[in-house]
Amino acid sequence: MNRVLLVKSLIFLSFLMGFSAHETELIKEIDYEYRSASSIADLSKLEGLVKKYIEVFPESDKLLWRLGRIYFKLGDKTANEFEKIHFFSLCIKHTRKTIKINSQSARGYFFKGLCNGTLGEIEGIWSSLSIIEPFKKDMEITIRLDPSIEDGGPHRALGNLYLKLPHILGGDLSRSIGHFKKATSLGSEFGENYLGLAKAYIENDELLLARATLSKVINMKFKSKNAESILSWQNQANRLFKKIADN
């Protein structure tokens, strides 16, 4: 059975038997399509599919945060600033609904914080505590609920926050390094964790540790099937390594 027919069959069966009976199949299908999506067009199609599911099951927190995740990726991929703001705002809207339905949804908090923070960056208001503090709170709640999601995502997000913020607004290289270290332990095959840690080491003038961290990205045999991401991580690591060597 091709995937279109499979999806239609799952929707029909879900109507008859209720979401819980086919939740695993539906979620697997959505996650498969999300991992396979390589373009805005692919993500837009998936958005339409998930919205149809939500029409049938409006109280499903698992569908709502996944829709938020799609909007985050759409916002990340588009170059148009207006569209970015639109997608990140939709992400916040649906992840808020997620948390309202399920206050223990780690991914609800994670993607809400991520979209809120990214929206703040776009609008140039990272300097505002009204953005920084809610972002930190969402990530800290996520860590309490499940720090392992998205390959150590909440620790990676806080590592980036403390790395990018000026000291006067709470920037802290020691905290940044600590969070990135935790991210690498939770997501040992996710290159962005090591890249973030290396950048924090560079900012802290710990160049030997930065080189050792970048070498892990350059030389590591990742098990992930995402070859495009691996190549990107390794290219970034090589550029950073060269930059350190040139200095």
Do 180 and 200 form a contact (C-beta atoms < 8 A)? yes
Q: Which residues contact 242 (CB under 8 A, 6 or more apart)?
A: none
For residue 8, the tally of other CB atoms under 10 A from its CB is 11
For residue 126, the tally of other CB atoms under 10 A from its CB is 18
Query: 102 with 66, same domain?
Result: yes
Q: What average pLDDT does range 72-76 have in this prediction?
A: 96
What pLDDT does residue 7 have? 53
Query: 121 with 109, same domain?
Result: yes
CA distance 74 to 50: 14
What pLDDT does residue 237 have? 94
**Does the pLDDT value for residue 194 go beyond 50?**
yes
* Residue among 169, 199, 166 nearest 184 (CA): 199
What pLDDT does residue 27 have? 86
Query: 196 with 108, same domain?
Result: no
**Does the pLDDT value for residue 36 go beyond 90?**
no
Show which of 146, 169, 197 is a domain's final residue: 146
What pLDDT does residue 6 have? 52
**Does the pLDDT value for residue 71 go beyond 80?**
yes
Q: Which residues contact 194 (CB under 8 A, 6 or more apart)?
A: 184, 213, 214, 216, 217, 233, 237
What pLDDT does residue 1 have? 42
CA distance 202 to 1: 52
In a domain, 104, yes or no: yes
The percentage of residues in the chain with a pLDDT greater than 70, rounded to a whole number, is 84
Query: 60 with 92, same domain?
Result: yes
The CATH number given to whatever domain includes residue 137 is 1.25.40.10
Q: Which residues contact 48 (CB under 8 A, 6 or more apart)?
A: none
CA distance 224 to 227: 7
Query: 52 with 132, same domain?
Result: yes
The percentage of residues in the chain with a pLDDT greater than 90, rounded to a whole number, is 64
Tell me how many domains the chain contains: 2
Query: 32 with 134, same domain?
Result: yes
Show which of 117, 146, 175 is a domain's final residue: 146
Q: Higher pLDDT residue, 243 or 194?
A: 194
In a domain, 18, yes or no: no
CA distance 172 to 117: 17
CA distance 240 to 199: 8
pLDDT band at 47 (very low <50, low <70, confident <90, very high): very high
Sequence length of the chain is 247
pTM, two decimals, is 0.86
| Token duo for residue 116 | 């809120």
Burial class (CB in 10 A: 0-12, 13-18, 19+), 179: buried
Query: 100 with 203, same domain?
Result: no
How many helices (H) and strands (E) the chain has is answered by: 12, 0
What pLDDT does residue 119 have? 85
Query: 38 with 125, same domain?
Result: yes
CA distance 239 to 138: 32
Query: 198 with 152, same domain?
Result: yes
Query: 141 with 157, same domain?
Result: no
Do 127 and 167 form a contact (C-beta atoms < 8 A)? no
Query: 108 with 91, same domain?
Result: yes
**Does the pLDDT value for residue 63 go beyond 80?**
yes
* CA angle at 204 for the pair 130 and 180, rounded to the nearest 5°: 60
Which of the 8 DSSP states describes residue 190?
-
Show which of 111, 146, 181 is a domain's final residue: 146
The CATH number given to whatever domain includes residue 160 is 1.25.40
Per-residue pLDDT tens for 4-13?
555 555 554 5
Note down the domain range covering 109: 27-146
What pLDDT does residue 128 have? 64
Per-residue pLDDT tens for 135-163?
999 999 999 999 999 999 999 999 999 99
pLDDT band at 215 (very low <50, low <70, confident <90, very high): very high
In a domain, 165, yes or no: yes
